[in-house]
Amino acid sequence: MADTKREIERKYEASPDTRLPDPGRVPGVSSVVDKGVVELDAVYYDTADLRLAAASITLRHRTGGSDAGWHLKLPVAPGVRDEIAAPLSDTVPRNLAGLARARTRDAELVPVVRLRSSRDIRHLLDAEGALLAELSRDAVRAERLTKGGGTAAWDEIEVELADGGDPSFLDAVEKKLRKAGLKPAASPSKLARALAETTPRGKRAPRQPAPPAGPGPETAGGQVLAYLREQAEALLAYDPAVRRDLPDAVHQMRVATRRMRSAFKTFGKVVDRTVTDPIGEELKWLAAELGVARDQEVLTERLKSRIDAMPRTRLLGPVRGRLRLWSVAHGSGARRKAVAVLDSKRYLALLESLDTLLGDPPLLKAAGGAAARVIPAAVIKDYDRLAGRIDHALELPPGEARDMAMHDARKAAKRARYAGEAATTALGKPAKKFTKRMKAVQTVLGDHQDSVVAREALRNLAIQAHAAGESAFTWGLLYGQEEAAAAQREAELPGVWAQASAPELRADLSG
């Protein structure tokens, strides 16, 4: 069973002659406990071409100290990583390898670097004896384990915040260290430094990737490719979060797939759609597979909040129990299914297709045009598509046909919003304002569609309740509430659309 902790630390350059200032003088520190010196021996694993290191991910097998075992560290923010631990074993634990699979694909994980450190540890305690941070001084010896590698040695100082500690405490420690002449380390981790200092001559270090292919940033192609690469990286970054069942991870991963699919369509004159359309279909498949559990969760929460707000006198029958049974039946095994999708050959093939696309992008003639000229035209085209669907929906009387038309308009509003987001780097504030207006339209239409879906679920719940000999009264009341909510959104739409369709919004995009 793997354990997880949030690691927040800072590293500083040192030499064998560096003298540490007295940490007892740091505000909040009441006492300093010398924990002695421990010998640590860590072997870091990666693919032969260092895919994990390129993504600032580390996987190691370490002995010595109080936390011997396997550790996978995933970046969260500068100086912040999630560390997932597993017990010592002779091979890489399957669960840790799975968390890295989006990066490694089918490549073998092999030993690449060995780090042996003599760590002199001090614990900084508050007035109640609680641990604030661990201050350590490491004498590190690095050995490259791959062919042609070398060795390196250095000293460094590390301050790691105690679990649940206040990150501002590290600022106070850093202030004291800087006054003593210490400087933050140039490398974000020991592994990064080891790879940089032991890389065979003539080879590129993993943190210095080759410049991406494609035109310059001032062109439409440069802007579109930068956006697509950002979404592809988000897809990879959220993969382990989905596997760990972290909150909102599935939603964010689906958003990345939708943004890419939308960009493929919006910028079809920049990147060849004969190449991107098949990839877009695979992204659609991935979003759908991941979305079953997410959609069920959102719907259940919506219905639960409706029930919670209803007077007790109107709750006839085992309403909460019925909803619970229904939710479990529809959401059973959601995490297991999501992980199975992420482990599938189809998903890994999709990731390979994205690598190929972005490594050798199928750019069209418009890609070489100025971003300020090409991108506004693409965004406005998506707006026109939305305008047509809004007009059609508003012309229809309330009912099933109008519900379907508003659903189509919602999808168009989402695409227009994503187009505005993609254009923000090139167009600045006008694109941000356009995006904000499109989001407002999408929100109204999305709420309306949520009500449509909720009504269908409530109808099925009422049927189940009646078949079980229970009262369907409450489900009927809830159905009426959802009908009223949908009518309210329909009434709001013309006003929201009037703001979103103001001519100056589109004029500003074109400068």
C-alpha to C-alpha distance for 148 and 230, rounded to whole angstroms: 34
- Predicted confidence (pLDDT) per residue in 121-153, tens digit: 999 999 999 999 999 999 999 999 998 889 999
| Contact between 366 and 378 (Cβ < 8 Å) | no
> What angle do the packed helices 220-243 and 334-342 form, to 10 degrees?
130
CB 251 within 8 A of CB 287: no
pTM comes to 0.89
d(CA 404, CA 411): 11
Is the Cβ–Cβ distance between 157 and 163 less than 8 Å?
A: no
Give the tokens for residue 31: 């006492």
Distance between CA atoms of residues 137 and 475, nearest Å: 65
Tens place of pLDDT for every residue, the chain, 511 residues?
A: 468 999 999 999 999 888 888 888 899 999 999 999 999 999 999 999 999 999 999 999 999 988 899 999 999 998 999 999 999 999 999 999 999 999 999 899 999 999 999 999 999 999 999 999 999 999 999 999 998 889 999 999 999 999 999 999 999 999 999 998 999 999 999 999 999 998 866 565 554 445 455 577 789 999 999 999 999 999 999 999 999 989 889 999 999 999 999 999 999 999 999 999 999 999 999 999 998 777 888 899 999 999 999 999 999 999 999 999 998 887 666 778 889 999 999 999 999 999 999 999 999 999 999 999 999 999 999 999 999 999 999 999 989 999 999 999 999 999 999 999 999 999 999 999 999 999 999 999 999 999 999 999 999 999 999 999 999 999 999 999 999 999 999 999 999 999 999 999 999 998 7
In a 3-state reduction of DSSP, which class is residue 188?
coil
Phi, psi of 38 (to 5 degrees): -120, 150
Phi then psi dihedrals of residue 190, to 5 deg: -60, -40
Evaluate the CA torsion angle 78, 80, 84, 87 in order and state its sign.
positive
Tokens standing for 303? 């219905």
In the chain the first and final C-alpha atoms are separated, in Å, by 57
